[in-house]
Structure 1
Amino acid sequence: MPAIAGIYQMSNGAMLGNHGFKLMKTIKIGSSDEAIFWQQGQIFLGSVVPKLGETLPYVDAEKKMAITADVHLDNRDELFDRLGIKEERETVQDGQLILLAYQKWGRDCPNFLVGKFSFVIWDGIEEMLYGVIGEKSEEPLYYYHNQNTFAFCTSIAPLLTLPYVEGVLNDKWFTTFTNDNEGRKSEVGLFITPYEQIMQIPPGYMFTISDNQLEISLYRKRKSFGSRTRSSSYDEYV
């Protein structure tokens, strides 16, 4: 089963060590899948992909960018045309295509994507981590965040293996989801998990983390290019 994971060590004095490898080791990998990872400085990105499938994470060393993704795009030809790519289209994989879209449109890039996708990009020029969980995604992206570290994964269990994550149960989650109070429809209920230190980013949302600041918001729905809908900040709900 495809999966993505990663760690951003924001404090210059902190070291990644083998925490990224521990994260990947805990992810369940099927016999037809393989785990691939990339680490540079304070950044670790990993993915579980089908064997002989797409190579992710994909790294653009010249642009100082890397992407890990679980993605299947349905509008590749449209994106190639808009990006001006005329040759060797068959060799450009979906993850690379998203990175090219990000390089052209920045954080507006999900408005140009059609299909199922969850991706996280490291932008080494901006020193920013940027991620999107597509509206058609079946699972949220789980994360842990403190003043030094941002760790994420498409499942909770690997995050609980990290030495700085405590598996304290979240009473608020149990109160919200075990009572018949329509809690699942509330905005707060979108972000909490059964564990106090682990939150989630639901489908249809994007996040950026820069200068130790985490921002989560809805990305605009792609009804048509140039269309606009309201963007809501996560800070409104916590």
Structure 2
Amino acid sequence: MSGIVGWIDWEQDLSTQEEILYEMTQTIQHRGPDAEGFWFSPRAALGHRRLIVTDPEGGRQPMVKQYGDRRYVLTFNGEIYNDSELRKELQERGHTFKTDSDTEVLLHTYLEWEEDCVQHLNGMFAFGIWDEAKQKLFLARDHMGIKPLFYVERGNTLLFASEIKAILAHPAIQPELDAQGLGENFGNGPMRTPGVGVFKGIQELRAGHSITITREGKRVTRYWKLESKPHTDDLDTTAALFASFWRIPSAGNSVPTCLW
């Protein structure tokens, strides 16, 4: 488990706002006790708390990649299950890698397909990628919403984070309760409206969705939805498919090793 934090502002110079981003990132230290990282530019500031699983040096974040004359910066929480397959495909397309981390694979997947990168990902993830040349932020959450991602807009500012407490650490955001969200979470009515939270204005990016943010505005895209279809596979095929999802190393009574 790791944690991500981001701040976009179209008016204020964020390159001098280290203290605020540090305080926001510190609120989610428990998500990533092993390392922290920060990146600043005039329009964007990104933070990261890391729980190290693989490639301690190569997986440092935020990860910055210079691709031609363009610079991209990634802050990422999760795991890309098909990183080996993606790495091979991207290498065939001319990409080169300096690390063994799935973080670098994810960033190169965006370099190749931009917003359509989510169509190539199998995993649990929440991430933000800042394109410095285009002045564009791309946020995405995994298909089933395993990894959390919250965001809020205030005038020329957009904040996002793995947990609401990181957003509330920003001085411009006050913890004002939302009547609809409060009622849905604690009342006896219908299920909570997807995306609606307890605090006014703070939204949850819905599972299977992405957002593209530029100075001109934002575009929310639903890139995946669960479809109900008749089950036609036989028992062996079904068992093999289930094992691949849960990363079970062999048949039998193996315990699933998927980490939520």
TM-score, length-normalised on structure 1? 0.82
Structure 1 residues 69 and 31: CA distance shift in structure 2, 3 A: closer
- 1:83 aligns with 90
Match for residue 196 of structure 2 among 192, 198, 222? 192
Kindly indicate whether the alpha-carbon contact (under 8 Å) linking 2:46 and 2:75 is maintained by their aligned counterparts in 1: yes
Q: Do structure 1's residue 208 and structure 2's residue 233 form an aligned pair?
A: no
- Residue type of the partner of 1:193? G
* Partner Cα separation in structure 2 for residue 68 and residue 183 of structure 1: 31
Structure 1 residue 197 displacement after superposition: 2.7
Structure 1 residue 69 displacement after superposition: 0.3
Q: Do structure 1's residue 129 and structure 2's residue 137 form an aligned pair?
A: yes
Kindly indicate whether the alpha-carbon contact (under 8 Å) linking 1:7 and 1:43 is maintained by their aligned counterparts in 2: yes
Q: What is the total number of aligned residue pairs between the two structures?
A: 217
Percent of residue pairs bearing the same amino acid type: 23
Moved over 3 A (4+): 29-32, 85-90, 220-223
Q: Do structure 1's residue 15 and structure 2's residue 5 form an aligned pair?
A: no
Alpha-carbon RMSD across the aligned residues, in angstroms, is 2.4
* Partner Cα separation in structure 2 for residue 31 and residue 98 of structure 1: 19
Structure 1 residues 178 and 197: CA distance shift in structure 2, 3 A: same
Q: Do structure 1's residue 178 and structure 2's residue 179 form an aligned pair?
A: no
- Residue type of the partner of 1:211? R
Match for residue 78 of structure 2 among 67, 71, 74? 71
Kindly indicate whether the alpha-carbon contact (under 8 Å) linking 1:68 and 1:121 is maintained by their aligned counterparts in 2: yes
- 2:3 aligns with 3
Kindly indicate whether the alpha-carbon contact (under 8 Å) linking 2:31 and 2:50 is maintained by their aligned counterparts in 1: no
Q: Do structure 1's residue 45 and structure 2's residue 43 form an aligned pair?
A: no
Structure 1 residue 179 displacement after superposition: 2.9
* Partner Cα separation in structure 1 for residue 172 and residue 62 of structure 2: 25
Structure 2 gaps of 5+ residues are: 228-260
- 2:149 aligns with 141
Structure 1 residue 121 displacement after superposition: 0.3
* Partner Cα separation in structure 2 for residue 199 and residue 6 of structure 1: 14
Q: Do structure 1's residue 110 and structure 2's residue 110 form an aligned pair?
A: no
TM-score, length-normalised on structure 2? 0.75
* Partner Cα separation in structure 2 for residue 31 and residue 39 of structure 1: 20
Kindly indicate whether the alpha-carbon contact (under 8 Å) linking 2:73 and 2:130 is maintained by their aligned counterparts in 1: yes
Structure 1 residue 40 displacement after superposition: 1.8
- 2:234 aligns with none
